[in-house]
Structure 1
């Protein structure tokens, strides 16, 4: 199998390392506008990696294309690759792009091509955790997602923009809420612990609602400091870490099991770029194996969550379950 990666930042680099170590991958083609950086990455990956000195959305002979570039490029590139019959995996978390990618479902099914939307830490791992938790219920009523941490500069910029934009929650219909509102103390796996999280323009609800017909509420929040919230509508005023720091995701699912209401909380702690690279790599390999079929959608309705999480565990990404008493419902 040949794979092309468009965008070789923190996540794209981790993804490339995962793929060149897989026997199923014959060649990894890397595309990025930063030529010196690209050359250094390719030199570190060995003979299976090669530079493609072409625009990010230029035609390719790859079997799967992974879009790991900045927000704003995914939808147009996905349309071009889909039109050429090439499978697409998007690692982006921009809401508008996720919605646009989901609208490619009919064309993707007609062409017999898989398009995986949101194959990162969150969305991505969050979708798989939601599917795993939901399997324990007879009826799923609510899904609440929270995440903290960023994978690198591009991810940090998207996090910054998301806090300044309106959140889109699901309450039987789509409801818009101000970004930076709705503070909630969310507990993540150690050593992250408790973090204040706020509404933001996040893609998770757009991917989860189609995967869980009948769900009544779906929300998403992101960890933020007071400074993050106060400066969200300004240009970024400080440099970001090239690799990002430790982060975590948390998924709370509420529903009915038997005759009683119940709550399941799952989470994971890792460097977001590392975890996102592992999730995207696994999505690519599952497309190659025929385990992800044609159509456009998130991972929640497209993979077996137990098998996917087991495979992620072998790559060092481990999920955890919260043990404790149920608390008040999120607002």
Structure 2
């Protein structure tokens, strides 16, 4: 099978590339990137004959189509702003497609392409990283166990024990983080959608060690965009997402300082937005991912709690997924947590193990048990807790 990873040198997509390269069923992995030097460097680090590179530009349709021609599956690891462009290119190339999330509003727009993918006999999986992604499949697993479901809570946290390195490091898209902290969050409450302020609804949640008790906050996310429709037949009324961990509110300080703004500033006759400046600064200061001489040592946990009824009794299913950094790949937990599920889903698609066609979220098209089995093979833990009120 041939799989193309668009944006394959990115912080999280590079872990998808590495997992694919280590998977025996994959015959060809193509790192597609804007910068061929970075792609070549990653390919040389992996040292696999099955890995090749190709240059493409996410803003230019023809270059995307060319990169995808002949591939079984396209993994879109590019910033979510380009999801729809890349989906249209995948349609033209006749390639199955998946991405790692559309941050609610983009995900809904992507679903509008469902009929075209279905007619073409293709599948587009919308959001199959960690969250969205594993969270969706865990929710499907829990909901399938219940006769009815009223509420689904999705939570995420982390801990970092890495020694050395710079005081501030980004291990996934800072633009997405900025969007989560500036765009109103959307929750599904009592059967209705409503917007709430970002970082509102603070709560404290206890996680297993080494995470401990962590504060959680509302942000915009994709799970509330799809769960109400996916689980409508089970009576779903409430869906909300929250996240938080050490250093999370440090990002809010940057937002408050204006660094998330995309409004250009004039400086000495030139114009640049604070966000563009900050992204460039992070790269110059070697803060986009851990420096090469640092081995990350961190953990991440994502959790869903599905509350409903089973045999007439109020029952909750809590499912946790726990990740650790990958020393061999020098990948932080958050990078592994996003890249590996994308690799697994791409391989399932290429093998014909996912038969649903159209543009769909993971909870619609991925069977939980075989997906979990692949996670466990990669030392990613899945833990289930059941509580019943008699």
With structure 2 as the length reference, what TM-score do the two structures score? 0.78
**CA distance in 1 between partners of 2:170 and 2:360 (Å):** 25
Deviation string for 1:74-109 (max 9, x for gaps)?
A: 221111212332110111342232122222111111
Unaligned runs of 5+ in 2: 59-63, 160-168, 261-277, 291-295, 324-332
The alpha-carbon deviation at position 322 of structure 1 amounts to: 4.2
Is the Cα contact below 8 Å between 2:150 and 2:236 reproduced in 1? yes
Q: SS of the residue aligned with 2:57? A: coil
Q: SS of the residue aligned with 2:127? A: coil
The alpha-carbon deviation at position 196 of structure 1 amounts to: 0.8
**CA distance in 2 between partners of 1:186 and 1:106 (Å):** 40
Change (3 A) 1:142 1:206: same
The alpha-carbon deviation at position 152 of structure 1 amounts to: 4.9
The alpha-carbon deviation at position 65 of structure 1 amounts to: 0.6
Aligned to 1:315: 378
Change (3 A) 1:149 1:71: farther
**CA distance in 2 between partners of 1:209 and 1:161 (Å):** 23
Change (3 A) 1:226 1:84: closer
For 1:185-204, what aligned pairs fall within 5 Å after superposition? 185-204=204-223
Worse-superposed segment, 223-232 or 122-131: 223-232
Is the Cα contact below 8 Å between 2:39 and 2:53 reproduced in 1? yes
Aligned to 1:227: 250
Aligned to 2:6: 6
Q: SS of the residue aligned with 2:200? A: coil
Aligned to 1:27: 28
**CA distance in 2 between partners of 1:248 and 1:303 (Å):** 21
Aligned to 2:177: 159
Aligned to 2:304: 251
**CA distance in 2 between partners of 1:229 and 1:258 (Å):** 45
Report the structure number with the largest CA radius of gyration: 2
Change (3 A) 1:137 1:323: closer
Q: SS of the residue aligned with 1:255? A: strand
Aligned to 1:329: none
Deviation string for 1:223-278 (max 9, x for gaps)?
A: 15443334435326795450584322111110011111111211122112112222
With structure 1 as the length reference, what TM-score do the two structures score? 0.91
Cα RMSD (Å): 2.3
**CA distance in 1 between partners of 2:193 and 2:96 (Å):** 30
